[in-house]
Amino acid sequence: MKLVGIVGSAAEKSYNRQLLQFIKKQFANKFDLDIIEIKDLPLFNQSEDISDTPLLQDINQRILDADGVIISTPEHNHTIPAALKSALEWLSFNLHPLANKPVMIVGASYYDQGSSRAQLNLRQVLDAPGVNAHVLPGNEFLLGLVKEAFDEEGNIKAEGTVGFLSQCIDNFLTFVRVVNTIDAEQKAAANKPAAEDLNASGKIATTIEGVDMHADDWVEQAAAKVNAVEGDTYVKLNRGVLTVDQINMLLESMPMEITYADSNNQFLYYNMVKPASEMLAKRVPGQVGNPLADCHPPKSLKNVEWVIQTLRSGQQDVVRVHVPKHADKYVVHNYQAIKDTDGQYMGINEYILDFKPIVEWYLKQTGQELVGGVDVTTSASQKEESPAPDTTSSASISEEEPAVAEVETDTTSSASYSEEEEKTVEVEVNRVEEENSVDAITGASEA
């Protein structure tokens, strides 16, 4: 565990500095204590902000990097010294490193009360808005008559005092673990993405309102609603001018199946590259316009949501799932985040490709063969002594591994699955989500 100790005095000789030095030495087996000096900080003046100076930035970063803070304060006129108050002003003006940070207060003074009133004053300051520290309750370590408290080697003489300090330190370490655990959970909850609205009940700038999303003729109704162009009408694109007919022909000539679902989770397009019965993901015209919740069986929706949130959050730009349904196909579903020119998430482009013909052509052209001895002509033969590699992820499949994905997965837009297919989707997407060994961007397994 890493802690910082703040010397609450600007004096050249300070018993509070000596107290922190003793704590650092005495409890070195429990934590590393980085002692911070405030003596070089100027008096707080909001008109002359020093937040960007190396001195204050260094103190700020050291506190941020620590698991907890110990402040050792003397007592001046029943309060903390002006130097410590000024330092705390700097650390709660434009910089706020003490916010939600576990803090323990200790103190040493010349007289019997051992900085008790200064410690009470310091608690009030640390609780103030802008500081917002989590101060350890109770466990007040007050070192009075400090001139006689240390021996020549800087150690506290009284064993009982050292024992009480040790108890306070142990309580603080427990406090640090609890506070940091709660803080981490709160941050995780705050950063957790909102549940995806797979019913597309909201709207975005491009939502076509006034048309039933479930209508089989949604395309025709939506086109009429917005006076969509068609036929030989020219459309200016980023790098070209094409007619609508040319755009359709271009998309349908693609050697892969392409779909588009917008950021509102409404399924808006697929290219009919072949008859529906031959498509890798079975789709029907009536799906277009549907919310994504209607394009999947209920058991698959949590996986659909995971893929969307992974892309929407920017954790990944692509999620890939391999689906070896057929002995003669290498099918991969790719879920690619669509972004505008400002990098904002605009939806998903799912493209599905059987790349076996490409692999076969490349191997034939180069005279190479797949590792493991796969016969690329029939995809049937395997060497008994070496398991066939998973050509999508380069991961070998052993007999002990479950047989995954015997059907195609279409997390973005496919409509119908059997129970077996639903299980396949869950296995495959969870595999991408949970196994760190597979690089979901490149599909290559990590060594």
In the prediction, which pLDDT does 50 show?
94
pLDDT at 326 (0 to 100):
64
pLDDT digits (tens, 9 = 90+) for 195-206: 889 999 999 999
Q: What is the pLDDT, as a whole number, of residue 327?
A: 67
Q: Which two tokens stand for residue 55?
A: 């001195």
Residue range(s) occupied by CATH 3.30.450.20 in the chain: 259-434
Q: Looking at residues 42-70, what average pLDDT do you find?
A: 95
Task: Please report, rounded to a whole number, the percentage of residues in the chain having pLDDT higher than 90.
Answer: 61
Give the Cα separation of 267 and 288 in Å (integer): 6
- Structural contact between residues 39 and 83, judged by C-beta atoms closer than 8 angstroms: yes
Between 214 and 328, where is the model more confident? 214
Model pLDDT, residue 240: 95
> In 10 A of CB 105, how many CB atoms?
27
pLDDT of residue 3: 97
Tens digits of per-residue pLDDT, 209-253? Answer: 999 999 999 999 999 999 999 999 999 999 999 999 999 999 999
Pairing state between β 68-73 and 102-108: parallel
Tell me the average pLDDT across 126-148. 92
Q: Indicate whether 274 pLDDT > 90.
A: no
| Mean pLDDT computed over 417-434 | 42
- Residue 437: pLDDT above 60? no
Per DSSP, the three-state class of 78 is coil
Q: Residue 360 and residue 372: Cα distance in Å, rounded? A: 15
pLDDT of amino acid 369: 87
CA atoms within 13 A on the CB side of 45: 5
Among candidates 321, 323, 277, 258, which has minimal Cα distance to 416? Answer: 277
pLDDT at 255: 87
Are 325 and 379 in contact by the 8 Å Cβ rule? The answer is: no
DSSP state of 361: H
Question: What number of CA atoms fall less than 13 Å from residue 28's CA on the CB side?
Answer: 5
pLDDT band of 6, cuts 50, 70, 90? very high
CA distance 55 to 48: 14
User: Do the bridges between strand 141-143 and strand 234-237 make them parallel or antiparallel, or are there none, so unpaired?
Assistant: unpaired
Contacts of 283 (CB under 8 A, 6+ apart): 259, 270, 276, 413, 414, 415
Cβ contacts of 291 within 8 Å, gap of 6 or more: 198, 199, 200, 201, 213, 265, 266, 267
pLDDT for residue 356: 86
pLDDT higher than threshold 60 for residue 126: yes
Express each pLDDT in 145-160 by its tens digit: 999 999 999 999 999 9
Q: How far apart are the first and last CA of the chain?
A: 32
In the chain, where does the domain assigned CATH 3.40.50.360 lie? 2-191
pLDDT of residue 192: 74
Q: What is the mean pLDDT of the chain?
A: 82
3-state secondary structure of 183: helix
Specify the CATH architecture of the domain 2-191: 3-Layer(aba) Sandwich (3.40)
Selection from 116, 58, 117 nearest residue 90 by Cα: 58
Tokens 């697929």, residue?
270
Q: What percent of the chain shows pLDDT beyond 70?
A: 82
What is the rounded CA–CA span in Å between residue 148 and residue 157?
9
Helix axes 116-126, 82-90, angle to 10 degrees: 10
Over 80: is that where the pLDDT of 389 sits?
no
Q: Using the CB atoms, write b or e for 36-56: b if 16+ within 10 Å.
A: bebeebeebeeeeebeeeeeb
Task: Work out the pLDDT band at 324, boundaries 50, 70, 90.
Answer: low
Per-residue pLDDT tens digits for 332-375: 899 999 999 889 999 999 998 888 889 889 999 999 988 875 55
Mean predicted confidence (pLDDT) in 260-284: 84
Q: How confident is the model at residue 76 (pLDDT cuts 50, 70, 90)?
A: very high
The confidence score (pLDDT) of residue 402 equals 32
Confidence bin at 325 (pLDDT 50/70/90): low
pTM: 0.52
331 close to 408: Cβ distance less than 8 angstroms: yes
Q: Which residues contact 232 (CB under 8 A, 6 or more apart)?
A: 243, 244, 245
CATH C-level class of 259-434: alpha beta
What pLDDT sits at residue 131?
95
What's the pLDDT at 79?
Answer: 93
